[in-house]
Structure 1
Amino acid sequence: MTNKLRIHQQNLRKSSTATQDLLSNLEHSNTDLILIQEPHTNSNNKIMGFPSSSSMYQANSEIIPKTGIFVNNTSLFTKKIEDFSNSWITTIQIHLQQSPLIVSTVYIEPNSISSIHENLVRKLFKTYENVPLIVSGDFNARHTMWHNRITNKHGEVIYEIMNDFDLYLHNDQRPTCLTINGSSIIDLTLTNHKATPFIRNWNSKSNRQSIFDHALIEFDYISRDEIPQRIFNTTRRFNEGKADWGKFRDSINIEELNLAVRNIEHTQNKNKIEHNITKFTKIIQKAASQSMPIIKRSIYHKRSPWWDNELRCMQIVVQNKRYLFTKEKNLIAKQYLYEEYKHFRNKYVRTIRKKKFQQWKVFLEEINTNNTWGNTHKLIKNKLNPKTHTLPIIEDFPPNEHPKIIENIVNNMFPTHTNSPNIEHSTTQESPEQEYNISKEYIENLISKTSKKAPGSDNVTYTMLKAIREIISEPLAKIFSKCLNIGFFPQQWKKASLIIFPKPNKSDYHLHQNYRPISLLSSIGKLLEKILQIEIQNYLIENNKINPNQHGFTPKKSTITALFAIKNKILSDKQHKMTSLITIDFTGAFDNADWNIILNNMHQLQIPQHLIQMMHSYFHHRTITMKYNKIEYSKVMTKGCPQGSPLSPLLWNILINKLLDSFTITNASIYAYADDITVICSSTDLDGLQSIIIESLDFINNFSHQNNLKINFSKTKILNFHKKSFHQPIIIESNTIEIVNKLKILGVIFENHHLKSKINFTSHINSIVNKATITKNILISYCKNTFGIDNRKRKNLFKGLIRPMLTYGSEIWFDQINKSQKKKLESIQHQFLRNSAMAFKTVSKSCINCLTKIETLDTYISIKTMKFLHNNNIQRIDTPNPNLFFKELKKSKLLEIFSQTNQNFQSFFINNYVPKFVHTNYFTTQFSQHTGHLRSISAE
């Protein structure tokens, strides 16, 4: 930790080059804050040119900012003060040990100062008169008091404010703005009496440090105490990108590994088993520490890779040229030197742009890899779903309050169970009918199917386990067999590390319910959980114990099977009855699952006793720990299915299964996808329908009370598939259930249609088109006709990212939409495929389909629907080889499309299709289409 803040201030004159020049000057200075005036925005509402990995504070997105504060030190606790932030002023608060530090930057345009500016600045100094306050910026204020030749209106107003609030001006006689017409001191640094004693080393670098008009101002703030800093807590300790995997495998001490396993095999003592599992884990950790570096995160911005020695030399030349013309007294010589400076500056600017573009092109294209899901894909995903790494629930409050806040977060997200019924279960050891003897191959297969998820507190990742699966699969098989045979789930695999993420589109991020808790568990422990989950689920499926209306996390079931059942039920009931749909939302469903009730339900489902005993051990003394900086808070959990555990969805299904089995209300049907509950009610008359809805809601509400769950009535909605209104509101426990015109169920928006044989999906199609249009605009900015990822990667990106977005749930809604809506979707696909082929807008849809070898959306959805109906035994296809059938169908459709292309296009491909060896790009597409530059060349 340190007690010093390094602060810089710069007017950038709206220049991208000045921004890059500033960052290059500050590359090795460990600057904490940069106070910016006239930033580069490119006429947008966002300051550009600064790295996104750090925080930029500016005016809200409705206005073009004239000021901003860039927090280069990512470890500082900062927040924007909204009352004193707009287009011309930006104010932030930095948490110190004893009191906050307020830092504000100002830009007032020349000859524009008004009472609005004066009143807000006065209010700022009045509000924070008792805490340290720094105001630094370009006031365009000239006054003889700070060594200007003249005094203007701006200077008079600022001088009055300085006198009224007893402010200290840190400027000396050095000018802060130098132009060919002269110099002036208009960039001022003001502090109140609380901040003045702590300002050190104020300096105005007006000679060489900027290629533009304004000097770079720098100073330090030296605090009495150490400044609190954010520590990046993560369970990813090792940098696997720089790992020596051969050395990692060689570093595994096989002799010690086998000794630990033998000790486990030949004991019934659970403490000894625990001890030897710890030794097993430490062997892997030690090998990792010997073969891969620890992840180190710099708290400061690093220079962009395109900045090289050539640019550095050019920068020095330009700075020297500027220095020469500013010091020249002879006007004729000064004008000559200024023109020479401009020439070199413009050359410097062009070189920066060229190198930036070249590096950007290399970054996007990744020509040395065939990976479709590289930088371009990541950029698109980040634009579509921007992630925030800030936690306002903690960071907006002083550090001395953080321990209590952390404790409250954990206790609110994982409350202690106080009213659970005391259900007795046998705790005597029950051995399985046939002892487990898990094979090495089974564990190898299990490890190979794992993904790159974050590890638990032991820092052992799935990537590490995959690298040594041939070595550890047999030892793990023996350890897991032992655990299953004696009904013991090791304690160290029950320790969860808690991380929280802000839920998107929430208004108040100071509330714990607007964050999603994720439990990071041991990767090795999750393998045992997966085995346990497979064992229990196989028993339930083989014995038909799971209700068929549960579609979540069940083999051969999905969101599509759930939506298909819901759609068919609505259409069936709607033909002859009045129909309504209810969606039920449980408050913190997974986090409030009662363990005793789950165990009781397992008994009622007649799950083998040794598996129930294993679940007893799994639940016993589970802990959750949240770390933030050096603060750590742990508690023993008493309920809840940890989100991040392979077992959690199955445990929830066991809990909710009783609701699905016992729900027998006449003219009402219930469907579930994990904790998403949907009920469809129907009746021949309105009063009867309302009565069934109330009866259904009462039944589910009573179930909730009996099972220690709570319905979130504010998120529980009703959608009517009829035009009549209920005579009275539907009220459950004093909560009025909202009736809506449209409802999103498992990602698909349902609405009533005036025809009884239809469901309205207009809002859903509009939503798809809007999202796809946004994605298209993002994609086009990264994938131009002349640069970007190649045709193959673009097609894969379309198939893997775009088309699933366009067609999700199409098995449900495609037969319900009209021709105009289908045409919209085809048009969107055509725009993406045209980008894949790097073609001009004039190229026809049929030619684009042939060049990319991708069928129309209509054909794709038809095949997708046929596969769904066939796989779910709803409408079987009479063929011994369905995959070959679908392949031939797609091929015939593409041949049909080829026949619709123009004669010029067909003349290039004599076999009536585009061969596989033809890879489209900007030039080959023009050639085959006789368009663009090649058309003009051939015309000549």
Structure 2
Amino acid sequence: MQNIPDILALQEPYVFKNRVPFPLSSRMFHSNMLDNVIYCSIIILNKSLIVKKLDNFTNSFATAILIQTKLSSLVFVNIYLHSNIFCDIHQNYFTSILSTYSNLPIIFCGDFNARNPYWNDSTTNRNGYKFKEVITSHNLIVLNDKSKTCRNASIIDLTITNSKAYSYITNWNVTRLTEISDHETINFNISSPNDEFGRHYIKSTWKFVENNMQNFVDNINPDKIQELNLLINNCHDSFDIDLVISKLSKIYIEAAYLSLPVRKSSSFPKKFSWWTPNLEAQKRHFHYIKNLYYRRDPRVSEDEYKIIRNNYTRSIRLAKRESFRSFLEDAESNTHYGNTFKLIKSLLNKVNNQIPMIDQVSTSSKPVVMNQMLNALFPDDVTSNDNMVARNIRNHHFNFNNLISTTSANFNYGDFSIWKTLTNGCPQGGALSPLLWIILLNNLLVSYNIPNSKIVAFADDITIICWASSIIELTGKIKTCIEYVENWCDNRKLSINHSKTNILYLFNNSKPIINLNNGTSIHPCDTMKILGLTFGNHRHRNKLNFTPHILNTTNKIQRISNILFALIGNTWGISHKKRVNLYKGMIRPAIMYGYQIWGDKLIVKTKNKLNSIQHHILLKSIYAYQTVSCNIVCILNNVEKLTDYIDSSLITYKIQDKAVRKIVMALRKKHSINNYFNHVNDNFKSFFPTSHIPYFFKPNFFNVQFITGHGLFMSYLHRINVKPSPACECGHSYQDPSHILFNCSLHRQFQHNISSPSEFMLNKCNLSLFNNFCKGYIISHY
């Protein structure tokens, strides 16, 4: 069929697992089962039709639906009657439905197994005789012509309407669409010049929320409505009515824009953008074979069906994979990082925007639940370490009295909004909360005068540094400092959170527990984190141990790297340049945080760990094997080792002039890369006589194997114990990239008039020949 039908009426349909095998997107209405058999069904393929099943008139031999039109409705009934069984039950059914919906157009269609010359058949049977009485008694109209509908011998498939539906039927015809049925296919159009079918309108400009409807009504301009009433009284024809409707629609639209939230168009790409015409053709062929197989057609075997099914599912997976890789590569974009960076950020910063206890309640109860939650977050009477009473601020003679007494908290969820006036304390997370806290804390910082100690304040906590000549004197000093802070807090109705209070001893002897007068104890810890830097005690008295910070950082970067490795591959993913930019702009700054403090305190083990994590990321940037040396990786990426970069940053970060700092960093980088070049293998030097890499050279999975010598070559595979011999298939005793490029007789037709590997890097033309050769060789040997 050229055009997909809107409605299918099936009799004696094939049923698989109590269901007619049609796509799940279609709506299906079945007759009631008789002896576990469905005898008729109606399939709605047009999703926009508004259809309702008539349960009172759906039984074992009939399926009835009501199709909504703009002006009224239409009743559509699909019938299947067994041969010679027409009785009072069937006659009463037709009488009942015709009387119930006497004012609506009604269409009957189906396999009646009824023969009668009244509809141009050659003979009469019991069903035909009885059904003829129904037709004449209710003034029904038979639309069949002389076309045979079954086995080219009889007319038992009928289309019948009442007088109101007769004008709805056009283009009635009989065709042969399938060879697996004894019956012909009957097609017809349902339409009316005075009416049309209602449609589902899913999309809307506004979000219609129950709580906003009163606001919508209030924004309707009463003056314009009054003018419209005067205009209605003067209507004389249809044009005047259309004008009134247009003006009324405009009034409603203006009110909607003033009161209702507008739907935002999705920023995501079109759904199923990976779907192609080739997949559509495969889908149709698969469903055709699937239907034949489920009907046990001898033309389709089980093996053939599985092969076609597996090919179809494999094609879908490949199409999705290619579409996702194209999205990640973002080849048409000129951004530095591409969509891979956005995806990594979204995976690292997952935020749950759902509140289950609100989602589970009814719409009318949501404001009540939100108000209860807001009162729980900001109670009117509570004592906590974050609480700050208003009178403590007033003592400083700042004009905050009005601010504190009028502060409110707002809770928004979806289209609901709840406000609460704060009667106690300063809200945590408020815009002025840090400033108010500093004003309150300033008194502690100014009044603190305990000898051999120093107090340091941060945004929301304080740190006290103590020193003494003995452990006993030190523990006493610590207790004195803590008690001083506790007394200051008690005078302002604050309290110290002892569970968050830590003590770090910077000596190697036994570390005592501090027992306070109020009965609480503070235990010593091995590490402490201040402003994102984790450190501990070092075995040397004049040093701090920053190894915990390096371990925490590498664990965090390892998680980012794992996500990155899942989004890039050797033959797909973002380009080499974007991979390096991603490392320089996202990963390396995260590693370098606070390097001015810990950069010169690294031990050999932590240096190796930092260089290792950079090496594994940059390996992916040049699509290289894991065994490629760190020196080659740094040269091809034009990135110095992480420890060398830290040393250069330590030397230059105190230089105020940015231009001078940039020059010094560039000179040190050049010196480091020249030093790396002195320690690379001879194969790499044969392609690049100096450490300078031409700007037009772009590493890829194929050419990097030849340049590094680490790839599908017998010499390399023998070295890592994969192959028993380094000999080439041509008979030469040693197969390396140079032999394949210039001397191997098996690849003579691909070799060019170039005498040395370095000539491939002289210009873009030679490099293109080299890339094509590398790709052809690797693909043929993979």
* TM tier, smaller: 0.5 to 0.7
- 1:837–1:922 CA contact under 8 A, matched in 2: yes
Q: Report what 1:750 is aligned to.
A: 535
Tell me which amino acid in the other structure corresponds to 2:701. Answer: Y
Partner residue in 1 for 2:220: none
Report the CA distance between 1:927 and its aligned residue: 4.5
Aligned to 2:503, what secondary structure does the other structure show?
A: strand
Deviations 1:506-532 (A, max 9, x none): xxxxxxxxxxxxxxxxxxxxxxxxxxx
- Could you tell me which residue of structure 1 aligns to residue 507 of structure 2? 722
**1:890 to partner: Cα distance:** 2.5
Please report how far the alpha carbon of residue 631 of structure 1 lies from its aligned counterpart in structure 2 after TM superposition.
Answer: 4.7
How far apart, CA to CA, are the structure 1 residues paired with 2:494 and 2:695? 57
Q: Which residue of 1 is the match for residue 440 of structure 2?
A: 655
Distance in 1 of aligned mates of 2:301 and 2:285: 13
Separation in 2 of the partners of 1:734 and 1:397?
45
1:679 is aligned, of 458, 464, 481, to 464
Structure 1 counterpart of 2:274: 306
Alignment of 1:241-280 (within 5 A): none
Does residue 888 in structure 1 map to residue 667 in structure 2? yes
**Is the partner of 2:410 in helix, strand or coil?**
strand
The correspondence of residues 479-878 of structure 1 with structure 2, limited to 5 A, is: 589=386, 592-593=387-388, 597=392, 601=396, 621-629=406-414, 631-638=416-423, 648-725=433-510, 729-731=514-516, 733-869=518-654
Q: Secondary structure at the match of 1:914?
A: coil
1:825 to partner: Cα distance: 1.1
Structure 1, unaligned stretches of length 5 or more?
Answer: 1-23, 30-230, 234-284, 420-586, 604-611, 872-876
> CA contact under 8 A between 1:687 and 1:726: conserved in structure 2?
no
* SS of residue in 2 equivalent to 1:921: coil
How far is 1:691 from its partner? 1.6
Query: Matches of residues 890-929 of structure 1 in structure 2 within 5 Å?
Result: 890-910=669-689, 912-929=691-708
What percentage of aligned pairs have identical amino acids? Answer: 33
**In 2, Cα distance between equivalents of 1:367 and 1:726:** 59
Hey, what's the Cα distance between the residues in 2 that align with 1:27 and 1:596?
Answer: 66
**Native 8 Å contact 1:668 1:680 kept in 2:** yes
Using CA pairs under 8 Å that are at least 6 residues apart, name the structure with larger relative contact order, 1 or 2: 1
Q: For residues 657-713 of structure 1, what are the alpha-carbon distances to aligned partners after superposition, in whole Å with 9 as ceiling and x for unaligned?
A: 333333222222222331142222222222221121122222222333344544222
**Deviation at residue 365 of structure 1 after TM alignment:** 0.6
- Residues 323, 882 of structure 1: alpha-carbon distance in 2 compared, 3 angstrom cutoff: closer
- Residue in 1 aligned with 2:288? 320
Give the corresponding residue for 1:390. Answer: 354
**3-state SS of 2:354 partner:** coil
Corresponding residue of 1:351: 315
Residue 920 of structure 1 aligns with an amino acid whose one-letter code is P
* Matched letter for residue 887 of structure 1: A
TM-fit CA distance, 1:782: 0.7
8 Å CA contact 2:632–2:680 kept in 1: the answer is yes
> In 1, distance between residues paired with 2:710 and 2:512?
65
Tell me the distance in 2 between the aligned counterparts of 1:302 and 1:914.
Answer: 42
Query: Alignment partner for residue 407 of structure 1, among 356, 371, 384?
Result: 371
Looking at structure 1, the residues matched to 693 and 512 of structure 2 have their Cα atoms a distance apart, in angstroms, of 64
Conserved? CA contact 1:626–1:632, under 8 Å: yes
What is the CA distance between 1:409 and its match in structure 2? 3.0
- Cα deviation, 1:244-298, whole Å, max 9, x if unaligned, reads xxxxxxxxxxxxxxxxxxxxxxxxxxxxxxxxxxxxxxxxx99x999x9732679
Q: Given residue 310 of structure 2, which amino acid in structure 1 is its aligned partner? A: N
Q: TM-score, normalised by structure 1?
A: 0.45
**In structure 2, how many angstroms separate the alpha carbons of the residues matched to 1:933 and 1:727?**
62
Partner residue in 2 for 1:546: none
On the 8 A contact 1:839/1:922 being kept in 2, the answer is yes
Q: Deviations over 1:40-92 (max 9, x none)?
A: xxxxxxxxxxxxxxxxxxxxxxxxxxxxxxxxxxxxxxxxxxxxxxxxxxxxx
Task: Say whether residues 1:378 and 2:378 are aligned partners.
Answer: no
- Counterparts in 2 of 1:734 and 1:323: CA distance versus 1, 3 Å: farther
Name 1:295's counterpart in structure 2: 264
Judge conservation of contact 2:286–2:309 (CA < 8 Å) in 1: yes
Tell me, in whole angstroms, the C-alpha distance in 1 between the residues paired with 2:574 and 2:421: 50
Asked if 2 retains the 8 angstrom alpha-carbon contact of 1:701 and 1:711, the reply is: yes
Cα displacement (A) at 1:822: 0.8
CA distance in 1, matches of 2:26, 2:273: 15
Root-mean-square deviation over aligned CA pairs: 4.1
Question: What displacement does 1:786 show?
Answer: 1.0
Out of 291, 301, 311, the position equivalent to 1:337 is 301
Measured after TM superposition, the shift of residue 788 of structure 1 is 0.6
* Residues 347 and 289 of structure 1, relative CA distance in 2, 3 Å threshold: farther
Q: For 2:464, what is the secondary structure of its paired residue?
A: strand
Cα deviation for residue 619 of structure 1 reads: 5.1
CA deviation vs aligned residue, 1:627-650 (integer Å, no higher than 9, x gap): 335653211235666677665544
Q: CA deviation at 1:838?
A: 1.9
Look up the SS of the partner of 2:498 in the other structure: coil
Which residue in 2 is equivalent to 1:582? none
1:369 aligns with one of 333, 339, 351 = 333
Deviations 1:446-483 (A, max 9, x none): xxxxxxxxxxxxxxxxxxxxxxxxxxxxxxxxxxxxxx
Alignment partners' CA distance in 1, 2:258 and 2:690: 59
Q: Give the match's secondary structure for 2:264.
A: coil
Q: Size of the alignment, in residue pairs?
A: 474
The 5 Å alignment of 1:70-85 reads: none
Q: Which amino acid in structure 1 is aligned with residue 275 of structure 2?
A: W
Do 1:742 and 1:750's aligned partners in 2 also have CA atoms closer than 8 Å? yes
Aligned partner of 2:591: which letter?
L
- Three-state SS of the structure 2 residue aligned to 1:755 is coil
For the residue of structure 2 that corresponds to 1:634, the secondary structure is strand
Q: Write the distance in 2 (CA, Å) between the matches of 1:649 and 1:707.
A: 17
Aligned equivalents of 1:642, 1:368: Cα separation in 2: 47
- The within-5 A match list for 1:213-252 is none
Distance across 1 between alignment mates of 2:707 and 2:454: 57
Q: What letter matches 1:362 in structure 2? A: S
- Structure 1 residue 26 displacement after superposition: 5.4
2:54 corresponds to: none
Tell me how far apart the structure 2 counterparts of residues 823 and 703 of structure 1 sit (CA, whole Å). 48
Distance 1:685 1:858 in 2: 38
- Higher alpha-carbon deviation: 893-902 or 339-348: 893-902
Shift of 1:826: 0.5
Q: Deviations over 1:134-155 (max 9, x none)?
A: xxxxxxxxxxxxxxxxxxxxxx
2:572 aligned partner, one-letter code: F
- CA distance, structure 2, for counterparts of residue 639 and residue 885 of structure 1: 56
Shift of 1:352: 0.7
Q: SS at the partner of 1:720?
A: coil
Change in 2 beyond 3 A, CA 1:640/1:302: farther
Give the Cα separation in 2 of the matches to 1:642 and 1:297: 35
Q: Distance in 1 between matches of 2:708 and 2:686?
A: 10
Aligned partner of residue 718 in structure 1, secondary structure: coil
Where does structure 2 lack aligned partners over 5 or more consecutive residues?
A: 1-21, 28-206, 210-253, 714-736, 748-782
- CA distance 1:929–1:27, shift in 2 (3 Å): farther
CA contact (8 A) 2:337 2:579 kept: no
